[in-house]
Amino acid sequence: MDGVRIIEIKKSVFENNDIDANNLRKELKSKGVYLLNLMSSPGSGKTTTLIRTINLIKDKLRLAVMEADIDSDVDAIKIKEATGVDSIQLHTGGMCHLDAEMTRQGLEGLPLEGLDLAILENVGNLVCPAEFDTGSCSNAMILSVPEGDDKPLKYPLMFSVCDTVIINKIDVMDYFDFDMERCRRNILSRNPKARIIPVSAKTGEGMEAVAQWLLEEVRLWKAQKA
């Protein structure tokens, strides 16, 4: 309609968050703490995958976990009981994502001194979390087999911003119309550089590859000059 002004307000919001995120990354670098932002849909197996991974690496790295949810402390308790590592719960107050400032507030609840790795399990959502830089050193996501191999086509931004995609629940692949090679092609069409790791967090298949990937990520990051 002629004469109607359209004002885009998202730009300034994201710009401010990007500044906060870059500042947070610099601070974490100075402390030697690697921050991993883990995202996925609800029910993909994030917490189970985390537990498996943590138990494989906790004797090699000093780490802690931040569990983000709209409410409850179920996941933080589960992580603590199953792994013994420090775990805190972040309530988002109804928001469907974490931004850099919210992540900073969560990190203040962790014993950062002497920590090598902090893992943020973001809110279960494939839209909002992909839009906000949390200040992490890298982004990873979990895609579960029951969600379908076409998920990268439906949620392009999430797959574009993630450096690593863990395909979980491969133990039930025979029961779903899921083509692993088609899924790989769909992921790489969104992000040609994405690392793809198929696993079953339930049986443990492929989890050693996840552990080795994360150990190498932290090692290489720490080897870089601040």
215: pLDDT strictly greater than 80: yes
Answer yes or no: is pLDDT of 19 > 60. yes
Do 68 and 136 contact (CB within 8 A), yes or no?
no
In this prediction, residues 45-68 reach a mean pLDDT of 95
Question: What is the pLDDT of the chain when averaged over all its residues?
Answer: 90
Contact yes or no for 61/142 (Cβ under 8 A): no
First to last CA, the chain: 52
In the block, which residue shows the tokens 């090679």? 181
Predicted pLDDT at 226: 52
pTM above 0.75, yes or no: yes
**What is the structure's pLDDT at 14?**
75
Question: pLDDT per residue over 59-112, tens digit each?
Answer: 999 999 998 876 677 888 899 999 999 988 887 776 777 889 989 988 988 888
Question: Is 199 within 8 Å of 165 (Cβ atoms)?
Answer: no
